[in-house]
Structure 1
Amino acid sequence: MTESVPGSTFEAAYAEGSPPWVIDAPQPAIVELERRGGIRGRVLEPGCGTGEHVLHLAALGYDVLGVDLVPAAVELARDGARRRGIEARFEVADALRLPAELDDRPFDTVVDSALFHIFGDVERAAYVRNLHAVCRPGAAVHVLALADTGPGFGPEVGEPVLREAFGAGWRLVELRPSSYRGVARGESAEAFGVAPGTLVDPPAWLATAVRL
């Protein structure tokens, strides 16, 4: 993908109230990642959406911050925290301006669930530079991105894109097939052969890169 998905697309999805990525639960792949010991220290989730991963990790005792470009998403995340009685932090911030918009305390872990794959070539490189700037040496960045290996419902990336993105300044320690749970509607429901509103698990990549 050479061009990024514009922010207006996500603003419209929240205004309409039916984003396919909102499943009112954390991604199973991220839950399993935490169970396997992949999360530690201070955690950042850029593009946190309604905050399900932040809420899940905060409830487990992690120091975690969720940021999203869309104010409506951040408000939904804060509402979710209040309703569940979970102390969690959310801020409106641009993932392409992280060093300027966050405090100067570095992160130990980054959880990217379906953000990396929305960027085109130029902004993807800028995004990875931003992650490098806000992570301490040895920090782990986990990327769950829709894969170009099967039917999906949004932008997709190939394995070479992830390998290239986390080259200089990083050590890619794992890149394996996974899945990303979402809600199939419209053309995506037809592609999966399911009724609109059905939860589906299209193929994804789960990559882990360590900041050098």
Structure 2
Amino acid sequence: METSVDRSVFDSAYESNSAPWVIGAPQPVIVELERAGGISGAVLDPGCGAGEHTILLTKLGYDVQGVDFSARAIERARANAAQQQVDARFEVADALHLGGAPRFDTVVDSALFHVFGLQSQIAYVRGLHGVCRAGARVHVLALADVEPALGPVIPETVFQEVFGTGWRLEGVRSSYYRGIARGESAVAFGVEDGAMVDAPAWLATATRL
């Protein structure tokens, strides 16, 4: 997955309702981040998936745009928002090819960054720089290279590398990502297939210069 990500894999996961990242609620770490004052202004939710974070932040009064390159994900997100009677905004868009003038003050990346290879991560962060205002903060919640794993993982050092130009990396801390363990992941975690687990993750924050 160095230069591209197979869209059909994600479409299929939403169609079959087997996506391990769809837990029917926002990530607890993102909820805590908002309560701690980590989110402000206009918000971008790239790789928004089923829309849990866009819906949450819209409910709380933020100006939020959720984007995902999977049309099936956006259909699911819009249905979820309608069910909750939330007027949330979603758009089918490729996070590796974001365009437009700088307009976002916060980016909340929940489990998108880690699906890319290094060169795509660099391109992705460059694109975020283009759509973020000076002083904007980017929060990345990504699976850590610590066992057991729930999906593709990354080392802590990658953040310093990709946020080295045009950004100030504020910090990276150990965190967790909640998901559904299936198949080999369930075996690795020692749980029944379909059980909810908290996988090791990084929470990184960077400020756009």
TM-score of the superposed pair, with normalisation by structure 2: 0.97
Aligned residues: 209
103, 110, 113: which one aligns with 1:113:
110
Displaced runs of 4+ in structure 1, greater than 6 A?
Answer: none
Contact 2:102 2:130 in 1 (8 A): no
Aligned to 1:186: 183
Q: How far apart are 1:3 and its partner, in Å?
A: 6.1
Give the unaligned 5+ runs of structure 2.
none
* Mapping for residues 20-35 of structure 1, pairs under 5 Å: 20-35=20-35
Q: SS at 1:181's partner residue?
A: strand
**Aligned residue runs from structure 1 range 1-212, under 5 A:** 2=2, 5-99=5-99, 103-104=100-101, 106-212=103-209
Q: Distance in 2 between matches of 1:47 and 1:59?
A: 19
Residue 149 of structure 1 deviates from its aligned partner by 1.6
Q: Is the 8 A contact 1:146 1:152 kept in 2?
A: yes
1:40 partner SS: coil
Contiguous gaps of at least 5 residues in structure 1? none
Contact 2:2 2:120 in 1 (8 A): no
State the Cα distance separating 1:180 from its structure 2 match: 0.2
- Kindly indicate whether the alpha-carbon contact (under 8 Å) linking 1:47 and 1:67 is maintained by their aligned counterparts in 2: yes
Task: Give 1:89's aligned amino acid.
Answer: R
Identity %: 62
Deviation at 1:69, TM superposition (A): 0.3
Find the aligned partners of 1:191 and 1:183 in 2 and give their Cα distance.
Answer: 12
Q: 2:49 touches 2:68 (CA, 8 Å); kept in 1?
A: yes
Q: Secondary structure at the match of 1:17?
A: coil
Cα shift at 1:5: 4.0
Give 1:104 deviation, angstroms. Answer: 3.1
Structure 2 residue identity aligned to 1:138: G
Matched residue type, 2:101? D
Q: What CA distance in whole angstroms lies between the structure 2 residues aligned with 1:23 and 1:70?
A: 18
Q: Is the 8 A contact 1:4 1:118 kept in 2?
A: no
Q: Within 2, Cα distance between the matches of 1:105 and 1:158?
A: 29
CA positional deviation for 1:174: 1.7
| TM-score w.r.t. length of structure 1 | 0.95
CA RMSD in angstroms, aligned pairs only: 1.2
| 1: CA distance, partners of 2:176 / 2:44 | 21
Letter in 2 for 1:98: L
Alpha-carbon distance in structure 2 between the residues aligned to 1:4 and 1:176: 28
- The CA deviation at 1:126 is 0.6
3-state DSSP of counterpart to 1:178: strand
Deviation at 1:161, TM superposition (A): 0.8
Question: How far, CA to CA, are the matches of 2:20 and 2:104 in structure 1?
Answer: 29
